[in-house]
């Protein structure tokens, strides 16, 4: 039963991931998020069987049916990750599903929306090297509202966002934006409210660890290929690592320093 439900939630997440791709591509453009999807090259409107998450990409062999232009690998990757996120959220709340279905869907829908927004932010930052203010403000507002429903609304939790965002703000201020973007501080503010200080801090540590590993690897790779210097922030954004760390900390209930909190 649990396996079947996990697969169902994965498939539902993949469908949502298809829409998230639309948001990523059309955000901050003159295009609306509605309307029929079309090939980015030939502008031919896609048929329903070309819009099936994951399956269509595989059957079309990664190319447009009309003009044979390669389809961005981003489409199936985002759909797959979105499916994993939705499936993982179900597994996290599965006990609540069988005890209080209504309560399950309230919690599940909230966190599904929040991590969907985070996924869009991460991919958009990866593509454009900037965190969109519109999404990060929406995320922060929803995270703050969630304090009253999913956390104890005390002063400690209210300040958790500020505690997590403060180091990023200081890095941005001291470096004049060279070390860290202000968008990372805005994102960290919402993450602190969403997760609470223990999990948010653990996610932050994971983000720095994973970011450092990837950054060092890319620097070494650039030197081997003799393509010049490669800086962490100049080449890869930090938001994807923040989102990854936050998600792992939330799903695994990871508290790296339990004695400190």
Total domains in the fold of the chain: 2
Task: Look at residue 175 in the predicted model and tell me its pLDDT.
Answer: 78
Rounded to 5 degrees, what angle do the CA atoms 41, 47, 122 make?
Answer: 60
> Is 141 part of any domain?
no
Say if CB 171 and CB 154 are below 8 A apart.
no
* pLDDT per residue of the chain (261 residues) written in tens, 0 to 9: 899 999 999 999 999 999 999 899 888 776 766 666 666 666 666 665 667 888 887 887 777 766 777 878 999 999 999 999 999 999 999 999 989 999 999 999 999 999 999 999 999 999 998 999 999 999 999 999 999 998 877 788 889 999 999 989 998 888 777 777 889 999 999 999 999 999 999 999 999 999 888 878 877 776 666 655 554 444 678 999 999 999 999 999 988 876 555
> Are residues 123 and 11 located together in one domain of the fold?
yes
> Are residues 104 and 160 located together in one domain of the fold?
no
Nearest to 96, CA basis, from 110, 83, 82, 84 = 110
> Are residues 124 and 206 located together in one domain of the fold?
no
The residue among 73, 93, 128 that closes a domain is: 128
Task: Look at residue 232 in the predicted model and tell me its pLDDT.
Answer: 43
> Is 235 part of any domain?
yes
> Is 205 part of any domain?
yes
Alpha carbon distance 162, 158 (integer Å) = 8
Task: Look at residue 242 in the predicted model and tell me its pLDDT.
Answer: 96
> Are residues 86 and 173 located together in one domain of the fold?
no
CA 40 to chain centre: 24
> Are residues 86 and 57 located together in one domain of the fold?
yes
The residue among 99, 128, 157 that closes a domain is: 128
Alpha carbon distance 139, 120 (integer Å) = 11
> Is 3 part of any domain?
yes
The DSSP code sequence of 12-28 is HHHHHHHHHHHHHHHTT
Task: Look at residue 235 in the predicted model and tell me its pLDDT.
Answer: 60
The DSSP code sequence of the chain is -HHHHHHHHHHHHHHHHHHHHHHHHHTTSS--S-S--B-TTT-PBPPGGG-STTHHHHHTTTB-TTT-PBPPTHHHHHHHHHHHHHHHHHHHTHHHHHH-HHHHHHHHHHHHHHHHHHHHHHHHHHHHSS--HHHHHHHHHHHHHHHHHHS--SHHHHHHHHHHHHHHHHHHHHHTTSSS-HHHHHHHHHHHHHH-HHHHHHHHHHHHHHHHHHHHHHHHHHHHTT-----HHHHS-SHHHHHHHHHHHHHHT--S-GGG-
> Is 166 part of any domain?
yes
Task: Look at residue 233 in the predicted model and tell me its pLDDT.
Answer: 44
> Are residues 116 and 190 located together in one domain of the fold?
no
Tokens of 74: 């981003």
> Are residues 221 and 169 located together in one domain of the fold?
yes
Q: Is-above-0.85 flag for pTM?
A: yes
**Which residue segment(s) compose the domain that 237 sits in?**
149-261
């Amino acid at each position: 039963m649990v396996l079947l439900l996990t697969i169902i939630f994965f498939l539902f997440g993949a469908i949502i991931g298809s829409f998230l791709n639309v948001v990523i591509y059309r955000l901050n453009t003159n295009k609306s998020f509605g309307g029929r999807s079309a090939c980015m090259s030939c502008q031919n409107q896609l048929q329903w069987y070309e819009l099936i998450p994951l399956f269509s990409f595989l059957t079309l062999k990664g190319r447009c049916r009309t003009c044979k232009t390669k389809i961005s690998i981003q489409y199936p990757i985002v759909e797959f990750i979105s499916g994993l996120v939705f499936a993982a959220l179900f597994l996290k709340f599965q006990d609540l599903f069988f005890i209080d279905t209504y309560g399950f869907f309230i919690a599940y829908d909230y966190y599904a929306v929040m991590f969907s927004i985070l996924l869009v932010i991460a991919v958009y930052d990866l593509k454009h090297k900037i965190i969109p203010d519109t999404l990060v403000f929406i995320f922060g507002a929803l995270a703050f509202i969630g304090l009253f429903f999913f956390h104890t609304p005390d002063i400690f939790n209210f300040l958790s966002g500020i505690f997590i965002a403060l180091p990023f703000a200081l890095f941005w201020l001291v470096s004049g934006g060279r070390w860290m973007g202000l968008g990372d501080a805005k994102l960290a503010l919402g993450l602190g409210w969403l997760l609470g200080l223990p999990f948010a801090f653990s996610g932050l540590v994971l983000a720095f660890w994973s970011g450092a590993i990837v950054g060092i690897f890319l620097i070494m790779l650039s030197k081997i290929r003799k393509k010049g210097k490669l800086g962490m922030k100049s080449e890869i954004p930090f938001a994807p690592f923040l989102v990854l760390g936050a998600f792992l900390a939330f799903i695994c209930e990871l508290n790296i320093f339990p004695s400190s909190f």
